[in-house]
Each structure stands twice: as structure tokens, then as C-alpha cells.
Amino acid sequence: MNSLVIFAVLIAVAIIAGTTAQAQDCQVSVTDPFDLTESDIARIYDCIGDRMVAAYSKGGDTVAKNYRGWTVTATRHVVDGTHGNGLLLTYANDIAAEQYLKFAEQGVVMPVGSQLAKESIRINATKNAAEVGPLTLMTKLETGASPETGDWLYGGIQPNGDPMRFQQASCHDCHKIWEGQDYLGYPIEEVRIGN
């Protein structure tokens, strides 16, 4: 009889643990991010949004802890075909916000000290779940500090709080298509917040 009770308790614990783990996943029925509706994206963000800053901040990075206090540049996360087809939302620090929110296509010169943080949500088709993606960062440096990257420093934080490791050129090679915009990609027009 004792072993039957122990077995029942173990089953109950397994069910509760499984339910808790499942509750932490943000389940999705649509696994192609391009097919998500605005309401799908809002539901995903409601589920995962609070976990994003906690995840990015695990490594103690100051930007990861504070970027949500910056200016948001779009009305919601959106997939635009960059950054691995994640759902993206960009924040601009006080130095960057005024110029960035103009969304100018030519003659853009961002002020030194401008910082952009782009949070991302990934859709895991295998798990049918939304997951925290990396936080990518751009910082405008002094003129001449990094001519090969247009004086931008690219960085990122993984969902476990660790810094991303990559070559600067791997980011800048994609950003070169926006040279007239000081190498900045913008949110798609339908979600842009005006200055």
C-alpha cells in the first residue's frame, strides 16, 4: 500500500511539473512568423514579455536591465525578414530617439552615444512555442573609431544573459544596404511610431 501511495504522489508531482513547464511555454498554433496576426503577436508578447528582460539581465549587462525605459520605436513586435525571422521590437536611448524616429532614408547621421536595443521573440516550430530570442545592440562610436563598421559597435545578449560572440563584419555586412540611413534598419512602416 505504501508503494502505491508513493507511486501516486510521484505521478501527481510529474503532472504538476509538466503543467508548470508547459505553462511557461508560450504555445502557438501558427509556426511561420509571417503568418502571425496582430492579435497572435499581442498574445505572444503578453505571455513572454516580462520574461525577456529577466532573461537578458541574467549576465548583469546594464543595457539589458534598462532598455525597456528607452523610447519604443514601433507599436508592436513585427517580423520583417531580418534577424532570423524573429518578432522584433527596437528601443532607442535618449540620444538616439529623436533622429531615429524620423525614419529618414538619406543623410542620416546618428549622434555619438546613440544606442539601439532590438529584442526578439523566436517561434520554435518543433515545440509550437514562442521563445525569448537574442537582444541585439548597436552603439554609435566617435567618428573614426571603427571606420569599417561606419563607427557602429554591434553587440548582443543571448536569452541566458551571456554576451553574443560574433565578428563585427557579420552584422555590418547586412547593415551596409542602409548606408544612407547611417546603417540603420527601421521597423516596417505600418508599425512605426512617429516623432
Enumerate the domain spans of the chain. 27-191
CA atoms within 13 A on the CB side of 181: 15
Output the pLDDT for position 18: 36
**What CATH number was assigned to the domain covering residues 27-191?**
3.50.70
Q: What is the pTM of this model?
A: 0.83
Run of H or E including 4 = helix 2-24
Q: Kindly report the CA angle at 119 between 102 and 42, in degrees rounded to 5?
A: 90
- Within a 10 A sphere around the Cβ of 49, how many other Cβ atoms? 17
**The pLDDT value given to residue 195:** 56
For residue 143, give the nearest of 94, 110, 107, 176 by alpha carbon. Answer: 110
89 vs 117: CA distance, rounded Å: 8
Q: What is the mean pLDDT of residues 42-56?
A: 95
pLDDT of residue 40: 93
Residues sharing a CB contact under 8 Å with residue 55, sequence separation 6 or more, in sequence order: 132, 159, 160, 161
Average pLDDT, integer, range 77-106: 89
Residue 9 reports pLDDT greater than 90: no
The pLDDT of residue 85 is 74
| Mean pLDDT within 25-50 | 91
Question: Is residue 84 very low, low, confident or very high in pLDDT (cuts 50, 70, 90)?
Answer: confident
User: Given this model, what pLDDT does residue 171 score?
Assistant: 86
